[in-house]
A and B are shown apart, each in its own frame.
Chain A
Amino acid sequence: MNKELTKNLASGHSACAGCAFPTIVRTILGESDVPVVISNATGCLEVTSTLYPYTAWKVPYIHNAFENAAATISGVERAYKILKKKGKIKKEIKFVTFAGDGGTYDIGFQSLSGALERGHNFLYVCYDNGGYMNTGNQRSSATPFGAATETTPSGKMSFGKMEVRKNLMDIAAAHGVPYAAQANVAYLPDLKKKARKALETEGPTFLLVFSPCTNNWKFPTSQFVSIAKLATETNFWPLYEIEKGKYKINWATEKPKPVEEFLKTQGRFKHLFSEKNKPVIGQIQKMVDAEFRRLASLVE
């Protein structure tokens, strides 16, 4: 494998074929010109990259627990501050946290909020695969409306998850962080630009990255990029950034594809295509349109 690509996260991890997060991690870390130290929440990325006695991490790395990756990096970052002041550490170092959507939107929400509020100098990356994948695909508050998971299965009385995704971008931005951006693994130049900006910005920064899961979204491993692309082309996952409170949409088209195009590629939405559930697709389309209009209205 390309040496430059794997200089931070080696090949030989045990993530599924067609998993998006190795690309996300490598792309983001590749944008740092200075050494990085990583904290990682429990989840798929962690278990597939650190199986003792091996590690895929070529950079200093700490996994503490599921809900405390942000608190953990808070400690690392402050340790750096004081040890640098005392002259014990000379180098410039950046701090990056990786966590799944469960470790971010749900159980790690408080820890993230605390770290953003305290203003630590670090980048928090949430790779959002829309569920608790490591434990076998249970719903999280990032799971899309209508998706079937093991804890929100479709059935006679249910069309899957009945609640709308939590809007974490606005929540992160409400902490007054200098930079937050939503990105997608299918748009690497955009992801790189955002990673660089986030890493170069002083203070806490936040990236929310779309990360398809072949196993639990149920699509062929070869499709992760094309499905991720559809998410943005349908406005299901707009690319945008919030810089010092200012919203900017980074990709838009006159004629977004119908959200159905995205939904039909994945087994988790298959049940929506039944006669009974068809109206749900219409509902999702309305939600996507409304959310994009809202976003557009926030852009100056």
Chain B
Amino acid sequence: MTKNSKKLALTGGYAAAEALKQINPDVMAVYPITPQTPIIEVFSKFKSDGEVDTEVIHVESEHSAISACVGSSAAGARTVTATSSQGLALMNEILYIASGLRRPILMLVSARALAAPLNIHGDHSDVMGARDSGWVQIFCSTPQEVYDKTIVGMKLAEKVKLPVMVIMDGFNTSHSVENMEILEKEAVQKFVGEYSPEKYLLDIDNPVTFGPVALQNSYFEFRKDLSDAFDTVEGELEKIYEEYGHISGRSYKKIEKYKLEDAEKILVAMGSVGGTIKDAIDKLREDGEKVGLLEISLFRPFPYEEVKKALKDTKEVIVLDRNLAFGTKQVLASEISHSIGKKVKSVVYGLGGRDTFQKQIMDLVKGDNQSGYLL
């Protein structure tokens, strides 16, 4: 614990709202959806109590939420939003516009299943659907991480001029309480700094046209520029994590390693399942299984090099996807397989909030489950 921090017990949703309060963004445009609601309700209370200056726009849909965010960000305001599931799917069209216009919008996502059938519980279907929309995607596995990465995400977005999603698992993280540390507001304010955009709509004396038509002679370059911008993210994120480590005492990485050094089998996963896997690993190791966990925190851009280094000497790699891709290989499994240039064992778990138990992980590692699912 550093001198300017405080211990609290918070849910992931509350932790996000707390971090947003300390950032005190200019504008937040939001529309409610379970399990994102705690974030916007807690934040709205902060607003009602005068604890934030933020203009909160209670729009009539997620499509309008992200549209208003694009407008607000283009106007020159530090802008945030939050959503889940159907809401993120409804935003899809504008996600591409937000990134295409290089808007540094921060979005908290309580990741949730997609209909049909309707299901309000946690999985990664929604964020996987948005994975190539030009947004940076950072996964969190605990409320503490949600708090920290919200603050880091805001700074990163403005540094690399890209929109950023900070993702927590719906319910597993958004609604579960954890003891955690938060910083003083002043420290957060100092860390994120003032937002001063180069070009913005309200700069009346320097008029800009945002969102032009660009045809065969220029569209391609615009898209390539956006792609090139992603090449800067890993380096900038490392620097920001380091700086954040200095003020918080907590250090983060693009990927997190657990007992990898001597591991012969490595599980790869993202989000809240990490805790269960670690417990399983501890048990398995008691039985002499040399097993470890690689957690992917930065999913877009995907840290291929680091992943490759972490997995290169491993005999067996088992990848857990909390999303079901149809008619193709699973998303994270494909990324990992691509990183290391060989086949991995792919398994789908936790869809629609289905619990994942230690025993299931242990069976998987022991080779007792070859079905491809932790049903």
User: Which residues of A are in contact with B by a Cβ distance under 8 Å?
Assistant: 35, 37, 39, 46-47, 50-53, 55, 57-65, 67-68, 71-76, 78-83, 85-86, 88-89, 91, 93, 110-111, 113-114, 117-118
Contact = CB atoms under 8 A, between A and B. Distances in A.
Given A64-B70, A64-B210, A78-B29, 8 more contacts: A52-B214, A52-B215, A60-B201, A62-B74, A64-B67, A68-B94, A75-B67, A78-B68
B207 A76 contact: no
Contacts of A50: 209, 211-213
Which of B70, B202, B203 has the most chain A CB atoms closer than 10 A to its own CB? B202
A299 B69 CA distance: 40
B106 to A, nearest CB: 14
Contact of B67 (A51, A58, A65, A83): A65
A55 B210 CA distance: 10
B212 A51 contact: yes
| Residue among B68, B74, B212, B215 having the largest count of chain A Cβ atoms under 10 Å | B68
A46 B71 contact: no
A91 B204 contact: yes
Interface of B: 26-27, 29, 53-55, 57-61, 63-65, 67-77, 79, 93-94, 97, 201-204, 207-215, 218
Contact of A75 (B61, B70, B212): B70
A63 B208 CA distance: 11
A75 B68 contact: yes
Contact of A52 (B70, B71, B202, B213): B213
Given A71-B71, A75-B70, A79-B27, A110 B211 contact: no
Contacts of B76: 79, 83, 88-89
Contacts of A58: 207
Given A79-B27, A81-B55, A86-B53, A46 B213 contact: yes
11 contacts: A37-B202, A50-B213, A51-B215, A52-B218, A57-B207, A64-B67, A75-B73, A75-B74, A79-B26, A80-B75, A111-B63
Contacts of B211: 50, 62-64
A61 B207 contact: yes
B97 A83 contact: no
Contact of A93 (B68, B73, B204): B204
Contact of A71 (B53, B64, B77): B64
A78 to B, nearest CB: 4
Contacts of B209: 50, 55, 57, 60-63
Nearest to B75: A79
B351 to A, nearest CB: 31
A203 to B, nearest CB: 16
Given A52-B213, A64-B211, A71-B64, A78 B59 contact: no
B53 A52 contact: no
A57 B202 CA distance: 14
Contacts of A114: 59-61, 64
Given A50-B212, A110-B60, A74 B29 contact: yes
A139 to B, nearest CB: 23
A64 B97 contact: yes
A63 B74 CA distance: 11
Contact of A79 (B58, B59, B77, B94): B77
A91 B76 CA distance: 14
